[in-house]
Amino acid sequence: MRGKIILPAIGLIAIVGGSSVLYAVLADRVTLPDPFAATEAAEATGAASGQPNATTESSSAATESSSAEEEKREERIPAPDFSVEDTEGNPVALSDLVGNPVVLNFWASWCPPCRSEMPEFNRVYEDIGDTVQFMMINAIGSRGETKEDGMRYIAEEAFTFPVYFDMEQEAVIEYGIRAFPTSIFIDAEGYVVAGVEGAINEETLRRGITMISNSNQNAQSAVYRKIKPEEAKEIMEDGRAYILLDVRSNAEYKESRIDGAVLLPHDEIAARASAVLPDKDARILVYCLSGVRSADAAKALVALGYTGIYDMGGIADWPYETVSG
């Protein structure tokens, strides 16, 4: 019997060591390693072994590093392959998409939590395009679900993400799906990185996508959201915490800025981001003068591990009040 991904009851979003790390927990009841455990183990080994001479220490460190890397790769969970149908009845396999990060989402039209999250999935899909492959898998047969039910719902809502139909419940069985919706995040090499049972919001979806994008170290897959001034204004007034980041020069900042903005020139992001922006999970709205530097800054921040980046473009297009001085 082939191995299956088995989701624990608590879901699969985990915060490890204070950083936002989403990772899969079980496959055939085998736990993925804590990414911080190897470091702790190495430190403990070093403390117990005393003070070796420089040659021995260097050789030992190289051997341990190589072994740890091999163990890490061996413990990664290959995403089980499966075949589903597209809207025209053509077979599509998960393996056809290897080479790009993939988001699997299992849903049904009768499922209220599925319906609640799908507009956010569609919004993110339209934002990031084909840098990440979406497989929105309709669970045919669950509570009488039919392909016609799924297609009707998608048409009514005018969703544009790719929809597939699990006609024989092959994918549902392979991934041990017990509840709808369930989302699985797979990196570009075909390994399961994260998963969660239940509806998720846009912020969590983007965090998962950032995880699988960073896993591949693919700069083209850097994920952030481009928003209009009106959308930025809504975020600033929704009552939730955010950071407004001005990435222009100090002189530009003093001349005119959006009230409450923090200054971090775009060419200083690599050196100062961790000090100015210690919370990598914060919602950060980035702007410049015309939108060029804000786009560069957004990409740089995502590459540094920030998960809640919004590029709001240039202050030149900001129709609301500004301050100076």
pLDDT of residue 225: 87
User: Looking at per-residue confidence, does 54 or 87 come out higher?
Assistant: 87
The whole-number average pLDDT for the span 22-50 is 33
Q: Using one digit for the tens of pLDDT, what is the confidence trace for 211-229? A: 888 654 443 444 688 899 9
Rg (CA), the chain: 23
Domains and CATH numbers, the chain: 33-74 (no CATH), 78-221 (3.40.30.10), 225-317 (3.40.250.10)
More confident residue, 171 or 69: 171
What pLDDT is attached to residue 41? 37
Q: In which residue are the tokens 């420089």 written?
A: 54
Residue 215, pLDDT score:
53
Backbone phi and psi for residue 24, each to the nearest 5 degrees, phi listed first: -70, 145
More confident residue, 65 or 203: 203
Question: What distance in Å separates the CA atoms of residue 21 and residue 39, rounded to the nearest whole number?
Answer: 16
Least reliable range by pLDDT among 49-58, 181-190, 205-214, 257-266? 49-58
Q: CA 232 to CA 220: how far, in whole Å?
A: 24
Instruction: Extract the tokens encoding 147.
Output: 């392909």
**CB of 145 closer than 8 Å to CB of 139:** yes
* Cβ-based burial of 20 (10 A; exposed 0-12, middle 13-18, buried ≥19): buried
Work out the number of other CB atoms within 10 angstroms of the CB of residue 190: 18
Residue 97's CB is within 10 A of a number of other CB atoms, namely: 19
Q: Which amino acid is at 221?
A: S
Q: What is the pLDDT of residues 234-252, one digit of tens each?
A: 999 999 999 999 999 999 9
Pick the range with the lowest mean pLDDT from 48-57, 89-98, 207-216, 294-303. Answer: 48-57
39: confidence class by pLDDT, cuts 50, 70, 90: very low
Tokens of 229: 């001034």
Question: How far, in Å, CA of 72 to CA of 91, rounded?
Answer: 33
Q: Residue 19 has what pLDDT? A: 25
On the question of pLDDT at 120 being above 70, the answer is: yes
Q: pLDDT at residue 206 above 50?
A: yes
Residue 62 predicted with pLDDT over 50:
no
Residue 151 in this model has a pLDDT that exceeds 60: yes
For residue 183, pLDDT beyond 90 = yes
Is 219 in contact with 248 (CB distance < 8 Å)?
no
Query: Is pLDDT at 320 greater than 90 in this prediction?
Result: yes
**Average pLDDT score over residue span 94-123:** 94
Please say whether the beta carbons of 212 and 193 come within 8 A: yes
Stated pTM of the model? 0.55
Place of tokens 């020139």: 265
Length of the chain: 325
